[in-house]
Each structure stands twice: as C-alpha cells, then as structure tokens.
Structure 1
C-alpha cells in the first residue's frame, strides 16, 4: 500500500484521480536549477520513507513547473485546435498554481498564454473553469465526499506529491531504493530518494524524489531514462508556502457571462464499455510489466472498406508509425524514451516502460 494512502495529508491535490506518470513528449527538457548541495544530517532510505509516512500537511500553496520530453514522434492526422491543446498538455513546459487547505479544499490552476483552467473543490462543490472559453462545469459531491469527477486540464501528475505517490506505490523487490544527493528546491533544503529498476529491460534508469527536510513533503520528482542523465519527465515546486491558504482561494463565483453547466457525478458508478472491449490485463510485475488490451476496432480500421472520420484519423496516426513484424504477428510501434507501445494488426495494444523486444515477447505469448 502506498504511504500516501496511510497518510491522506500527502494526497492533498488529487481532484480527478491519477494516471500513468510515464506519458508525455515534445520540446527538450533541462533540469530545474538548484543551489549548491546543502549540508543535511544523514538519513537512510528507510528513514526517508518513514518521514513520508509521518508527514502532516495542513496547508500549502505554491507554483509548480512541469516539463516533459519523452521523445515522441510527430504523428500525422493530429491537427485542429482541440488536438493541438491536448498535444501541448503532454509536452514542453507548463506552469501550475496549487492551493491546499485540507482534503475538501483544493485548487489547481493550469496557466496558459491566453488564460487558465482551474479545478476547485470547496467542500461539496467542485468547479472546472476555463477562462479562455468562459465556461464552467459544476458538480456537487454527496454525503461522504465521493469521487471527484474528471476535469483536470490534463491527466498527468499535477504536483510532485501525485507523481511520488504513483512511484512509491510500485516499490517491490524489483526496485533498489537508495539516498541520492541533497538539494535546494524552491529555497528549501531537501533529501533525495532514488528508485532504480533491478531489471535492465526497463527503459527507466532512475526515479528521483526530492523530499523537504523539514515538512517531509515531495518538492521535486524526476524520471531519468536509460543512457542519459537528463529527465524525460520532471515536476517541481519553484515556490512553496506551507501556511494554510485563505478560504477565499476556494470560493468560486462564475464571472458575468460565464456559461455554467451542471454535471451530475457519475464517477462512483461502475464504468461501462462496449461489449467488444475486454478488460485490459497486466503481464509480468514490477518495472517490466506490460499492459495488454484487446481493441477489435483497430483491426476493423485496418480494413480498407472502413470509412469515416474516426477510422480515417486512426488509420492516419497508425500509418505514421514504423511497421514491425515477427513470430507474434505484425503491427505498428511507438517508441519513446521511457515507454514503448505496440498496436498489432489483429487488434491488440501493448504498452510498458520496456524495450520493444519485451513487448514482442508478451505479444507472442498473449495472442
């Protein structure tokens, strides 16, 4: 169980649940600048994990910078305003402002050049506001809180806490845990916890988590690919304040002229899907596990007779990827710096933080 589940204070900003940390692409990423390495009392990896478990976070506000460069290729068929916005969210550099004043008072603002998108929870009220479109969506949580609907601007981790939660939840015997170099992040001294896969089949070399020396809260999270020291994904505070924010930060009143849509919560209901889609399975454990999903629609799209906007778009995207084949069959391969995805011609999708050879091995055994 993740230490964040045993200490809810560390899960202070998860308005929409979490997703894979290893997603992204785009412009080159440099490491966040930090001051000279501070001199801190020695602490073991086990002690740092205990620090995370015992951390108590009553309030926080700050600025977070997120950068990604997973080496994804440019795919044809991706165009238009909506898709361009989606592409930008999983690449390059983004600035977010965050506020936390308890489990029922959280706010995240994704800042853009033309506006911002906010996700605000204030008690039972949840707002998602797009300033550029001047639109807001409102939901009301039932008794006991319940799940917050999906509405965050993107589904990547929004804070070092979220990213660290996903990484720490995966610690098992396949992971070597050690202490790295101390650092100064957002003007605060921090220890560094380092997670390394023991299996060289993984494309991930290290995951580094900088932990505040006083508050024991993650201040920076980095994913380092094999063969380089430059992070492929990095999220860090550039400014942080551990004082409880003013309640006014969580009170949202739609500006005049805002289009407001009331959305009933459906997050607690069982997810439904077409009968033709099977539940994905996970093959293997630890860093070299592979997610396998059967998507018959992909095989249908490969049929030259399949026409229509969606079929044409999928065919265009797949057509921009290199062809691969083997004893497992044939398909298209998407390879980034810390993950690989395989779409087979018979309607399977395989993805993992592994080499293509590992995907081919799994594809051969899961026809």
Structure 2
C-alpha cells in the first residue's frame, strides 16, 4: 500500500517534537520498576496479515494519538528478537555479573556472588537472540514481565511498594522496596525525583535495564524525533489480530547506522503494538518487538501476587551491592570502584549522528601483549574483534556491531555512537 503522505519537512519539527514528548510521557508502563532503555531496537513480522483499510491520518495526528493514549491495563505475549551481530549473552551471562544459577551463594573467596534472580544481569539476556515474554499491567503500580524459557521462567513483578524477581531455574528470588517514590510520578514526567533506594525513584539495583515492550521501544524512538528526522505514515498492518497504522521514522543525516524504525500503532487505543528497527546496512532487523497476543481488559489482581516458594533463596536489594559499589579489582589489592570514577561524556554532533566522547579511567587505552598486561593469545582475540585504525588522533581499535560502533584510541579516549566506523574516525580527527 502506498504511503498516506509525503515526508514531513523541517518546518513541522516543532509540532512533532511536542507530540513526541507527550507520547514518551504516556507510554504504557509495562516494564517492572523501569525496565528502561539502553538500546533502540527489533524479527520477521509478528502475527501480521493483510493491510486493513483505515481512515487516513498524518504523522502529526498519529503521534498525537499515541500521546493521547491512556492505556493502563493490558496483558498478552510479546516476542523480542535482537541481532546486534554479537554472540548470545545467555551462555556468557555468568561471567558478566551472575545471571546463571551458579552465581548464588558464596564463592571460593567466601564472598557473596549475588543472586541468579538479580534483574541487572538477568535481563541483559534480552540483548541477544529471540525471547518470548508474557506481560501484564494494571496502572502505574502493578506490572509483570515474565521471560519464558523451554523449562523455566523468569518473572519480574511490581506490586505497590514491592518489586520481586524470581528465577524458577535456580529457585532464587530478588526483592526490593520503593517506599520513597512512586512509579506514577515517573510516568507523569517527574524524572528529577530521587529516593534513597535509587536514582529517579527506581529501586536500587533495578534501574538501567532493557526495554521489554513495543511501547518502551517506541518511547525511546520518539525522543529522537527532531529536524534531523523524517517521519511519515506508511500504510497499515494487522498485529496480534488488531488493526494498526505504520509510523516510519528515518534519519535524514548520513553516517548513521540506523536505517529506519517502524512502529505499528493500534488504531483504536493508540498503543504501540510492534516496534522494528532495521540497520542502514540492510538485512534482518536489529531488534524486533511485537505483541503476538494482546488483551486490553483489566488483568486479574492475582496476576501481581507473589510469595517465594518454599526453599527459595531470597536476596534483599539492600544487602546486595551496598554503597553503590559495582565491582572489585582484585589485581589492585581489592580496591573498589564505583560509577563516580567514570567521567561524563562529551557529545559531538547532534541527532542520529551524535557521538559520545569520554576518557577511560587511568588515561590509557586497551592493554596490550607488548606492555605485558595481557597474554599473547588474549591479544590475538582482542585484535580479531576489532579493526585497527589511525589518524590525527594517533591509532586505535574500532569495535563494531550492526548498530553501535566504538573507537578506543591508544591514549584511552573512547568515541561511541550509532554511526559508521568512518564517522568515528572523522570525529576523533576533528577532536584532536
């Protein structure tokens, strides 16, 4: 079906931004305790069939429809596929913070290795591969997301002041409370509020996670709408048995690795039903998130009830990761580091071609075999994962995925963004 309208030009950017701010603010609060964005992302069309004949709308009208949506109650299944061109995190998770069942309990050094149910590491598995989620929401204080496995299930439940995470494979649970701030305030745009439990009203240890529904992905995409962006309505679709409009968002700038983002918007409720991002290089979607089944009726109250099964090992958030410490460097006498040691990035450029520049702690680049910091075999592995580049900045290594690229220079400067390798090298040269 032909597009309903031509591309919007830059003269309409202000109206689009106003609508997109409202849309971001009222995006459906599905994810538990702010399962928030780290990437923008999307699999082949999910449960789609035919192009329904719907009344014509403009991009501005569709964005306003998303903003006006007041969907607070729903349940259903979501399928998420992510293809960044990286190995699956599932088998590697144990080495990056304890997603595996063997992470619970005491380690060889007698220290607590954390909980297998800790969302901070467990939900990173969504960053690779294909996953099926069961979701439910009943207003800003009740949400549930379950990641369904072949013979196990991982659930994240927010019910009032309590946030529970439960991993059936290991029979471990993670519990946090947030009596200092309401998630409703976050949904209403009160982003500045902080409680002693964590930043911006999110229970400590549960912030900074990945999006898990089309609405959350769409919220991040709509934040990028400005005069560097083309926005249009491109026909219709049917998702999970519901009629929807297709909102297409494309960068106008060169150098971005993002090809386009498509959001299927429910014709009746204005709720995003499917989110797809394809790379500028072509091929399969980077991430595809869409409902395969959805119901807008009020879920049963029992959906959000949780009591740890008998014998469950329960980890309290206040006892895990005290003082905000992230890790210990045992090679440096057990010195503990926190996020404060990482400097704030400088943003180069704007829009889709923006690049973050920051310095690594210690003011030096990657360790090398020549310096004696890494074994020769490890050096070969590092070299195989990146491309060696040089310029006015000196020399460095570019690590690439299908969406995000990063240049690490020998002097410890990092340039990262959803841009091409050439764009990173150019930015590094101009900053030298």
* Interval of TM-score (by shorter of Structure 1 and Structure 2): 0.7 to 0.9
Aligned residue for 1:34? 48
Residue matched to 1:354: 419
Find out whether 1:285 has 2:322 as its counterpart.
no
Q: Which residue of 1 aligns with 2:365?
A: 299
2:54 is equivalent to residue 54 of structure 1 = no
Corresponding residue SS for 1:10? coil
Residues 354 and 168 of structure 1: is their aligned pair in 2 closer, same or farther, counting only changes over 3 Å? same
| 1:113 Cα offset (Å) | 2.2
Aligned ranges 1:1-367 → 2 under 5 Å: 2-7=21-26, 10-13=28-31, 15-22=33-40, 29-72=43-86, 81-82=94-95, 89-145=126-182, 146-151=201-206, 155-228=209-282, 230-264=284-318, 273=338, 276-296=341-361, 299=365, 301-302=367-368, 304-306=371-373, 316-317=381-382, 320-367=385-432
Cα RMSD after superposing both structures: 3.2
Q: Distance in 2 between matches of 1:229 and 1:79?
A: 26
CA–CA separation in structure 1 for the residues paired with 2:233 and 2:415:
33
Task: List alignment gaps of at least 5 residues for structure 2.
Answer: 1-19, 101-120, 183-200, 326-336
| Worse overlay, 173-182 or 30-39 | 30-39
1:181–1:5 distance in 2 versus 1, CA, 3 Å: closer
Q: Give yes or no for contact 1:296–1:348 (8 Å, CA) kept in 2.
A: no
- TM-aligned CA deviation for residue 72 of structure 1: 3.7
How much does 1:168 deviate?
Answer: 0.3
Structure 2 CA distance for aligned equivalents of residues 240 and 283 of structure 1:
41
Q: Deviations over 1:259-286 (max 9, x none)?
A: 011113999x999836653112221110
Q: 2: distance between equivalents of 1:233 and 1:118? A: 22
Instruction: Kindly state the Cα deviation for residue 5 of structure 1 after the two structures are TM-superposed.
Output: 4.8
Q: CA 1:313–1:3 in structure 2 vs 1: closer, same or farther (change >3 Å)?
A: farther
Cα deviation 1:255-310 (Å, max 9, x = unaligned): 1110011113999x9998366531122211100001122113562633633369xx
Shift of 1:19: 2.7
Structure 1 residue ranges without an equivalent (≥5): none
Distance 1:139-1:314 versus aligned 2 partners, 3 A rule: farther
Cα distance in 1 for residues equivalent to 2:88 and 2:296? 40
SS at match of 1:56: coil
The equivalent of 2:10 in structure 1 is none
Higher helix share: 2
CA distance in 2, matches of 1:20, 1:81: 20
CA distance in 1, matches of 2:72, 2:389: 52
Structure 1 range deviating more: 355-364 or 94-103: 355-364
SS at structure 2 position matched to 1:264? helix
**What's the CA shift for 1:355?**
1.1
